[in-house]
Amino acid sequence: MRILSLATVFLFWLSSYGAGLAPIQETPDSPGADRSSGFLTDAEGQPLPLERYEEIVHFLNTAQVVSSKEIGDGVTGARKVLLEKDGLRVNAVFRNVRINESRTLPTGTQVAFRDDYIFECAAYELSRLLGLDNIPPTVEREIQGQKGSLQLWIEGGVTETDRRDQGYPLLDEETLRLHWQVMLVFDNLIFNDDRNRGNYLYDQKGKLWMIDHTRSFRTDEELPYPSGILYSEHRLWEGLQKLESAVMRTHLQKYLGPSELESLIKRKDRLVEYIQEMIAERGEEDVLFSF
Ligand SMILES: Nc1ncnc2c1ncn2[C@@H]1O[C@H](COP(=O)(O)OP(=O)(O)OP(=O)(O)O)[C@@H](O)[C@H]1O
Ligand SMILES: [Mg+2]
């Protein structure tokens, strides 16, 4: 497959602007692998003895909180939390941001602004419905009287900012671009306009993980960055085509409001049309790829 230079589109895309407890369940509707192909460890750096996502989700829901500290470079109060259960110690990130307000643009226009931990749970569950395995397992949990999202910490993760500063030998430029294409399809789907360089990271086995989706799920029905989409990962394309609106409603209505959910479904349909058109123009061999 020919790889075009994605740098320009990607840079444009990267210059981004910026309930009640609902237990996440891994269900037969989740078509992807039930375990991660990435490098997951406990807090001491030992391979995580919990293999299936279902087990990690159960651990996140039930482990005791040992300690918690603010994450240095975050601006929304995200905290790194040490969890323990049956002698196993694992780090996680707890986000409890909940902002829902109207903001004034420099032009004077008023726009709705939402930054909400619940979208973290929605993004994880949606990723599983699509067969993706690259959002760290995430649950909704109450910690010290505050509701928030609790997400597995990827030990030794190298953010895109770090990769640019320090390098990262495990993925070559071409493979990186393909990983970014997966992320771009997902961000168009969830209308994520906050994919800055601190919001995705690479683990020690060469896997890209998507984090921080608290500013997603806008109510626009149009795709935000379709022109950057040039390719699609094979299984993601299948997942998108198979994902039924009824399944999305069943799984996501506990996190999303009606207009967030219905506009997500519209964007899913648009994304399918968009990729379908690319395939009609260029052929499957040029558009679809597998890792
Ligand atoms: N699941 C995770 N695994 C490993 N590291 C993480 C994880 N979640 C967050 N981090 C680290 O913590 C940093 C801040 O987290 P996050 O992006 O969620 O906070 P934030 O307050 O929203 O920051 P910002 O507004 O700058 O994006 C990330 O850039 C990353 O380095
Ligand atoms: Mg962030």
Return the ligand 1 atom nearest residue 95 CA: 18
Domain range annotation of the chain = 7-289
Q: Is the CB of 202 under 6 A from ligand 1?
A: no
**Helix (H), strand (E), coil (C) string for 64-118:** EEEEEEECCCCCCCCEEEEEEECCEEEEEEEECCEEEEEEECCCCCEEEEEEECH
71 lines ligand 1 (CB under 6 A): yes
CB 150 less than 6 A from any atom of ligand 1 = no
Query: How far apart, in whole angstroms, are the C-alpha atoms of residue 112 and residue 102?
Result: 4
Nearest ligand by distance to the CA of 198? 1
- The confidence score (pLDDT) of residue 51 equals 87
- The reported pLDDT for the residue numbered 29 is 52
Instruction: Name residues whose C-beta falls within 8 Å of residue 148's C-beta, 6 or more positions apart in sequence.
Output: 94, 95, 96, 97, 117, 140, 141, 142
**Distances from the Cα of 229 to the Cαs of 186, 200, 263, 265, 276, in angstroms?**
10, 18, 19, 19, 12
| Cα 42 to ligand 1 centroid, rounded to whole Å | 18
Mutate to test the pocket of ligand 1, among 201, 209, 210, 216 (most ligand atoms within 8 A of CB): 201
38 Cβ below 6 A of ligand 1: no
Our answer on whether the CB atom of 93 is closer than 6 Å to any ligand 1 atom is yes
Q: Ligand 1: which of 14, 73, 197 to mutate, most ligand atoms within 8 Å of CB?
A: 73
pLDDT at residue number 21? 53
For the sheet with 64-70, list strands across it. Answer: 64-70, 79-85, 88-95, 146-152, 138-143
- AA identity, residue 211: I
Q: Supply the pLDDT for residue 15.
A: 36
Determine the Cα–Cα distance for residues 139 and 268; give it in Å rounded to an integer. 23
Rounded-to-integer distance, Cα 118 and Cα 21, Å: 10
- Nearest ligand by distance to the CA of 96: 1
Contacts of residues 99-102 at CB distance under 8 Å and 24 or more positions apart, as own/partner, are: none
What's the pLDDT at 52? 94
Full-model pTM: 0.90
- Rounded CA-CA distance 279/232 in Å is 10
Q: Which atom of ligand 1 is least distant from the CA of 74?
A: 21
Ligand 1 pocket member 211 (CB < 6 A): yes
- Identify which of 81, 93, 99, 116 to mutate to test ligand 1's pocket (most ligand atoms within 8 A of the CB): 93
Distance, CA of 180 to chain centre: 12
83-131 pLDDT, tens digit per residue, is 999 999 999 999 999 999 999 989 999 988 899 999 999 999 999 999 9
C-alpha–C-alpha distance, residues 213 and 7, integer Å: 23
CA 83 remoteness from chain centre: 22
Output the CA–CA distances (angstroms, integers) from residue 38 to 80, 147, 217, in the order listed: 20, 28, 26
Report CA(199)–ligand 2 centroid distance (Å): 5
Ligand 1 atom closest to Cα of 196?
27
For residue 103, the cross-strand partners are 111
Alpha-carbon gap, residue 121 to 106, rounded angstroms: 32
DSSP assignment of 169-212 equals TTS-HHHHHHHHHHHHHHHHHHT-----TTSEEE-TTS-EEE--
Within the chain, which residues score under 50 in pLDDT?
Answer: 1-20, 23, 28
Closest residue by CA, ligand 1 atom 25: 75
